[in-house]
Chain A
Amino acid sequence: MTVSDLLKNENFSSVTLPDGDRVIKDVYIGDLLSWVMGRAKSDDAWITIMSNVNILAVASLADTACIILAEGVTVDESIKATAIDKEINIISTNLSIYEAAVILNGMI
């Protein structure tokens, strides 16, 4: 499943989508950035409620397929601009982390 495919589900919407063809192979969940950095795999969809600018560096360096901001968490405009510049897909959802993970489990 690609990131664009995920957006066909009405619960998920695009915040930034510079690379919608990126394939999601697995899912990682976490808010402690160093933990995520060490454990998330390349091509994971990373579900978090953390929304500061450092999530972009973590997603970029760990090479995740996208960041999914759960629980209705939002990011400010400067983070969106940086994400597009760094080619990082950010998806948002009002679902809880658990609910988002359950849906992803059925799609990948």
Chain B
Amino acid sequence: MSEALKFHFDVDGNDFTSAGHASVMVKKNLRQLGLPPEKIRQVSIAMYEGEINMVIHAGGGVADVSVTEDYVEIVLKDNGPGIKDIEQAMQEGFSTATENIRSLGFGAGMGLPNMKRYSDFMEIDSTVGVGTTITMRVNIN
């Protein structure tokens, strides 16, 4: 594969019940490409957490996934409120999710830590009042 394979998804911020759709589609596509199951799991989990975060906190956004010979790159971009204190947000257990979100089983403060844990590279670019872009890579070689 000389050129990167690219997938683009709009993440609907109003529909919490369909959150995860983009991640499930990516998982399907990576399976068809024959990637190792553990790598697919890493990408799926990292992306799902990011997708859920966009739905919970930012009213949705866009997800772009590219697959190269060496890695899978996930770029999640939203125009939400931004992250005030990234260091604090990265701590396991820290969450700003509402009670309603918690009652659905989310908001445990594990989203960003899981994204970090399951990716080999992660960069957060966030400006309060403007939005957040998160880039993650999972190495496949």
Contacts and interface: CB of A to CB of B under 8 A. Distances in A.
Q: How big is chain A's contact interface, by range?
A: 20 to 34
Given A35-B108, A42-B37, A54 B45 contact: no
Contacts of A50: 105
A26 interface: no
B73 interface: no
Given A54-B104, A54-B106, A57-B19, A34 B49 contact: yes
Given A42-B37, A63-B37, A33 B106 contact: yes
12 contacts: A32-B106, A33-B104, A33-B105, A34-B105, A34-B110, A35-B108, A37-B114, A54-B19, A58-B48, A61-B41, A61-B48, A86-B24
Contacts of B27: 60-61
B113 interface: yes
A32 B108 contact: yes
Contacts, number: 71
A57 B23 contact: yes
A38 interface: yes
A31 B107 CA distance: 12
Nearest to A33: B105
Interface of B: 16-17, 19-20, 23-24, 27, 37-38, 41, 44-45, 48-49, 52, 104-111, 113-114, 117-118
A53 to B, nearest CB: 5
Determine the main DSSP class of B at the interface with A: helix
Contacts of B38: 42
A25 B48 CA distance: 24
* A54, A60, A86 pick with most chain B CB within 10 angstroms: A54
Given A57-B19, A57-B20, A31 B105 contact: yes
Contacts of A105: none
Given A60-B27, A61-B41, A63-B41, A34 B20 contact: no
Contacts of B23: 57, 61
B15 to A, nearest CB: 11
